[in-house]
Amino acid sequence: MKKTLTIILLTIMAGFSARADEGMWLPSLIAQRIADMQEKGFKLDAEDIYSINQASLKDAVVLFGRGCTGELISPEGLLLTNHHCGYSQIQQHSSVENDYLRDGFWAMNREEELPNKGLSVSFLERMEDVTDRILKGYEPGMSEDERVAAVKANSKALIDEVIKEGKGLRATVEALYYGNQYFLFLYRQYDDVRLVGAPPSSIGKFGGDTDNWMWPRHTGDFSMFRIYADKDNNPAPYSKDNVPYKPKKYFRISTAGVQEGDFTFIYGFPGRTREYIHSEGVRYIEEIGDPHKIHLRTLRLDIMSKYQSQSQKVRIQYSSKHADVANAWKKWQGEVKGIRKMKTVQTKQEFEAAFDKWATDGEFDGVIAKIYGLYKELEPYQFAAEYYSETVRAIEIANFASSLYATYKVNKETGEVTFDQKKAADLVEAFYKDWYLPIDKECFAALMTEFDKNIPAEFKCEYFTKQIKKYGSAEKWAEALFNKSIFADQAKVEKFLKAQKSFAKSRKTLLDDPATEFAAEFAKWYASDIYPATSRINQELQLAYRDYMRGQMVYCRTQRVPKVFYPDANLTLRVAYGHIKGYQPADATYYLPSSTIKGIMEKDNPEIFDYNIPQRLRDIYAEKDYGNWTDSTGEVPVCFIATNHTTGGNSGSPVINADGDLIGLNFDRVWEGTMSDIVFDPEICRNISLDVRYVLFIIDKVADADHLIAEMTLVN
Ligand code: ARG
Ligand code: GLU
């Protein structure tokens, strides 16, 4: 099976290699693209990008935390990523007195670098096609359950085997092309990663949610960390004795600047795309899923903003939460717009009709109808599942109640209840630091009202129906729940946890609390009425997609339909290449590809929170005290856009020029192009990057931290 797929892919690529910049390519197979890359300007070879025999660019790229990318920029383990990727770390070290979010933070020496619980980075050691090994024991004709079992057992055996090769190794086996291919990814994970620097939010988050997903952009979205290792350069948990990690490879930084048309290459960890889905899947997203989720989040955002504007404390408490909720909310709006503009549903329907005709009586006969039927069956369950996650799971007090409840463990044999005091204390501290009751309560009322309105009666859980009936409205229900729940009052919770005589009794009390009950009853409903259906149908869909995916490849090759194939993103390392280019967002409007400090000054407004810059920046601008960090017009460059195909997870990814040097830091896309997770439009899909010269300018002129620049290798 592996051979067939590889051969199909190779023939397709040979036929259509000179197409637009769409694609997220596997680094270990980059030799298949290198000719195209070189034709477009790249000067290095495939082995420079990915090699298991010598240090290559991949050794300077890390998966940062749970879903960002970072890159090494000095021989001393200095790492660059986005401000929004380091946001929760910066926030955790902040308080009203020491507000690093507001004022920025710069370690002036190694001692001042701040350790971070729970933050790790992973280097890719190697990746390899392991399809044959993973499917060993599976024969055509066996059931899907048998296949799943074989994949699971073979993956586990392989992972257990490879992680013995060294210290700090972890591995995953990932399905590509819906399980037509399997790849092993072996990582080395470092857990001592310290905060080195971050500009004030008025620079790092300049433009805030107003400018998020937008061009022209002027956000200095970067923060810096340092990886620490034991004295042998191996991963080790945090210790004072750890020393800066010595990377196999780090990026040189180019200060030569960028021009429209220049080759750009992004190396990073894109999270999730669905380029090959059926029209019906797209229709659901466009007409149902996205619009409902957008509406639910509008309600929450309005409530948060209202209280945030009334208090500085609440503004800090909810800054990260607000940004999280707003981010996908805005992305979905662009996605819907883009899918409509591209007429993706219609285009896919036409493709499917032609495919179906071609497929008659062959291996792929009926697969189109099968997928369509499964989507129809899935729809009401999918809708309920999305509502569950956007309403019930958005109630903070309920999430907290269930995680606190989970610190009690029952021994299955003896029935004895134990309690993890340390964990409970940590949870309490972390939760109340950033929780504001009026916001949560108002969200509860608003979201439960929507749940009532939009979830059909036969899909509602009994508990919900009873509560609404009992209280008469979601508002009154909210009033009662937040009045009665012990979790509404930090002091009460702390007293309760301290005064426990019997853990079994306490556990029972918490279980009876209305907030825990709310979470538990809904979770039960989800687990019994919704999840089994979504999971079964999705599994059948996966199976059908496995055929359809292969079918699309065979069809396009044999019928000479021009289409590029690359595996959907799945948070594994990818290469995306393109070039610097402006775009036309609307009639008679053209956006140039780079922005400068002049634009920051045009937006500057002390009255508007998102556009209020530090006085220092105004002074520098007035004096034109720019140092070496200017472009050909004498201004400081800030951001640029290019045609690289990226998605969430690519945040913090290095942007590399034709010589393999760092010119920027990816952090966003233009919102008109966010449908690129489903369909890529070369006319309008643009990724947004921070110009590395702005990073250097801020470190030098605003932070006065040139000891960091001294560590780097600058080239011009
Ligand atoms: N849109 C970017 C991404 O998807 C940046 C998000 C953080 N910034 C913000 N203002 N919410 O992650
Ligand atoms: N900001 C996104 C991230 O966190 C990147 C933007 C996108 O392309 O989705 O990965």
CATH topology of domain 2-11+23-120+191-274+566-715: Thrombin, subunit H (2.40.10)
Average pLDDT over residues 506-520: 97
What average pLDDT does the chain have?
95
Per the residue annotation, which of 74, 94, 651, 689 is the catalytic one?
A: 651
Could you tell me the distance, in angstroms and rounded to a whole number, from the CA of residue 277 to the centre of ligand 1? 26
pLDDT the model gives residue 4: 61
Among the residue ranges 177-191, 310-324, 420-434, 451-465, the one predicted with the least confidence is 310-324
- Summarised one tens digit per residue, pLDDT across range 3-59 is 566 666 655 554 444 457 899 999 999 999 999 999 999 999 999 999 999 999 999
The protein residue with its alpha carbon nearest to ligand 2, atom 6, reads 668
pLDDT the model gives residue 17: 46
Per the residue annotation, which of 83, 84, 218, 579 is the catalytic one?
A: 84
- Summarised one tens digit per residue, pLDDT across range 263-285 is 999 999 999 999 999 999 999 99
Helices and strands of the chain, counted as H and E runs: 28, 24
Cβ-count burial 388-419 (b if 16+ within 10 Å, e if not)? bebbbbbbbbbbbbbebbebbeeeeeeeebee
- Rounded to 5 degrees, what are φ and ψ at 171? -140, 155
Is the bond preceding 216 in cis, omega lying within 30 degrees of 0? yes
Distance CA 681, CA 143 (A): 39
Distance CA 63, CA 41 (A): 27
Q: From the CA of 211, give the closest atom in ligand 1.
A: 10
Residues contacting residue 254 through CB under 8 Å, at least 6 positions apart: 657, 659, 661, 662, 663, 692, 714, 715, 716
Determine the residue of 651, 678, 680 to mutate for testing ligand 2's pocket, defined as the one with the most ligand atoms within 8 A of the Cβ atom: 651
Tell me if 671 sits within 8 A of 213, measured CB to CB.
yes
Using a 6 Å CB cutoff, which residues line ligand 2?
Answer: 68, 646-651, 667-669
Q: Which ligand is nearest to the CA of 648?
A: 2
Q: Which ligand is nearest to the CA of 677?
A: 2
Q: Are strands 589-591 and 654-656 parallel, antiparallel or unpaired?
A: unpaired
The protein residue with its alpha carbon nearest to ligand 2, atom 2, reads 648
pLDDT the model gives residue 361: 93
Tell me if 101 sits within 8 A of 91, measured CB to CB.
yes
pLDDT the model gives residue 9: 62
pLDDT the model gives residue 229: 98
Q: How confident is the model at residue 2 (pLDDT cuts 50, 70, 90)?
A: very low
**Domain residue ranges in the chain:** 2-11+23-120+191-274+566-715, 279-545
DSSP-derived secondary structure letter, 568: P
Using a 6 Å CB cutoff, which residues line ligand 1?
Answer: 84, 208-209, 212-213, 323, 326-327, 648, 651, 668
- Rounded to 5 degrees, what are φ and ψ at 253? -110, 125
Sequence length of the chain is 716
Could you tell me the distance, in angstroms and rounded to a whole number, from the CA of residue 84 to the centre of ligand 1? 7
Both tokens assigned to 366: 């009926």
Distance CA 507, CA 511 (A): 6
- Rounded to 5 degrees, what are φ and ψ at 197? -170, 150
Q: From the CA of 669, give the closest atom in ligand 1.
A: 1
**Catalytic-residue membership of 651:** yes
Determine the residue of 641, 650, 665, 688 to mutate for testing ligand 2's pocket, defined as the one with the most ligand atoms within 8 A of the Cβ atom: 650
Q: How confident is the model at residue 1 (pLDDT cuts 50, 70, 90)?
A: very low
Could you tell me the distance, in angstroms and rounded to a whole number, from the CA of residue 75 to the centre of ligand 2? 27
Handedness of CA 336, 323, 271, 653 (dihedral sign): positive
Average pLDDT over residues 390-419: 97
Could you tell me the distance, in angstroms and rounded to a whole number, from the CA of residue 582 to the centre of ligand 2? 19
Could you tell me the distance, in angstroms and rounded to a whole number, from the CA of residue 552 to the centre of ligand 2? 28
Per the residue annotation, which of 48, 59, 99, 221 is the catalytic one?
A: 221
Distance CA 516, CA 509 (A): 10
Task: State how far Cα 497 lies from the chain centre.
Answer: 36
Q: How confident is the model at residue 250 (pLDDT cuts 50, 70, 90)?
A: very high
Full-model pTM: 0.91
Average pLDDT over residues 449-478: 96
pLDDT the model gives residue 14: 47
DSSP string covering 566-608: -PPP-SS-EEEEEEB--EEEETTEEE-SEEEHHHHHHH--TTS
Distance CA 254, CA 235 (A): 30
Q: From the CA of 669, give the closest atom in ligand 2.
A: 8
Task: State how far Cα 263 lies from the chain centre.
Answer: 25
The residue assigned the tokens 């690529």 is 13
The residue assigned the tokens 């669905």 is 274
Could you tell me the distance, in angstroms and rounded to a whole number, from the CA of residue 285 to the centre of ligand 2? 19
pLDDT the model gives residue 684: 95
